[in-house]
Amino acid sequence: MDWQLLGLSFITVFLAEIGDKSQLAAIALGGSSKSPRAVFFGSITALILASFLGVIAGGGMAHFLPAQLLKGTAAICFAIMALRLLWPDSES
């Protein structure tokens, strides 16, 4: 197992999820429910499934596209999302 990649993946996802809308939803659900354990396991299951689908999709695309193209596309998509957050559409 590549421990460096495992650590990098953990840190990246952990930091990306702090303050995320899904975490805020889990806080709201956990605070208003009678069973915070169910909210915890539901949230964990959802994050695992979403991560699994992302890894499967990325692995599948890596068979057809070069890694540099995938990384470049991801970087451009993140930059576009950042710009949209900084300058939202004035019509909405």
Answer whether residue 49 is part of any domain: yes
Give the model's pLDDT for residue 37: 92
Asked whether residue 76 is domain-assigned, the answer is no
Cα 50 from Cα 67, distance rounded (Å): 21
Total domain count for the chain? Answer: 1
Q: What is the pLDDT, as a whole number, of residue 59? A: 86
29 by Cβ neighbours in 10 Å (0-12 / 13-18 / 19+) ranks as middle
**What's the DSSP call for residue 26?**
H
pTM assigned to the model = 0.65
Cα–Cα dist 29/24, whole Å? 9
pLDDT for 90 equals 62
Structural domain span for residue 48: 3-65
pLDDT value for 15: 85
pLDDT tens sequence for the chain (92 residues) = 899 989 988 898 888 888 788 888 888 998 898 999 999 999 999 999 999 998 999 888 888 899 899 889 989 998 998 898 888 776 65
Tell whether 81 is covered by a domain. no
Flag whether 89 is in a domain: no
**Contact indicator for 70, 62 with CB cutoff of 8 Å:** yes
